[in-house]
Amino acid sequence: MLTDERPTNLTEELIECVVHTFYDRVRQDSMLGPIFEARLGGRWDAHLANMVAFWSTVAMRSGRYTGRPHAAHQGLALEHTHFARWLQLFETTVSELCTADAAAFLIDRAQRIAESLQIGLNIGLKALDLPPRRAAKTFYKV
């Protein structure tokens, strides 16, 4: 979806339902579940509230989310396959719960978010193939 037009049937209630259903599936997923459990432990309620605020901001421009998604994903040893699985679960969830236009809108945003996170983490198809850093030269006598 190339348009920024938001479907009129997106509501806070629908976003909350999508987020809770999606993360129930993530928790049960053999690939993603252990990563989230290791990071969140007993803080699932806070994470879900944060993700509802995030998707409310993405989908409805509510401005409720104030976090730093790139920083939150640092140090997790994520790979492109993790994001592909995340997208697969998300697409399945919104396709089941949303009308076609709302699902297409949310899937578009999820794909953009996954791509941005992967670029920020330097993984996936758009990762930069940078040479190893060389030690800095010293231009003065010690």
Tens digits of pLDDT across the chain (142 residues): 445 678 888 999 999 999 999 999 999 999 999 999 998 988 999 999 999 999 999 999 988 988 887 777 877 878 889 999 999 999 999 999 999 999 999 999 999 999 988 988 888 777 776 666 666 555 555 4
User: In Å, what is the CA distance from 22 to each residue of 15, 52, 120, 124, 127?
Assistant: 10, 11, 23, 23, 27
Residue 14 has a CB neighbour count (10 Å cut-off) of 20
80, 98, 122: which is closest to 1 by C-alpha?
98
Q: What pLDDT is attached to residue 104?
A: 95
pTM: 0.83
State which amino acid sits at residue 53.
A
**Angle at which helices 44-60 and 33-40 cross, to 10°:** 110
d(CA 117, CA 111): 10
CB 14 within 8 A of CB 97: yes
Q: What per-residue confidence (pLDDT) applies to 85?
A: 97
Q: Is 102 helix (H, G, I), strand (E, B) or coil?
A: helix
What confidence score (pLDDT) does residue 46 get? 93
Name the phi and psi angles at 74, rounded to 5. Answer: -70, 150
* CA torsion, ordered 19, 21, 24, 29, to nearest 10 deg: -100
User: What is the rounded distance in angstroms from the CA atom of residue 30 to the CA atom of residue 51?
Assistant: 21
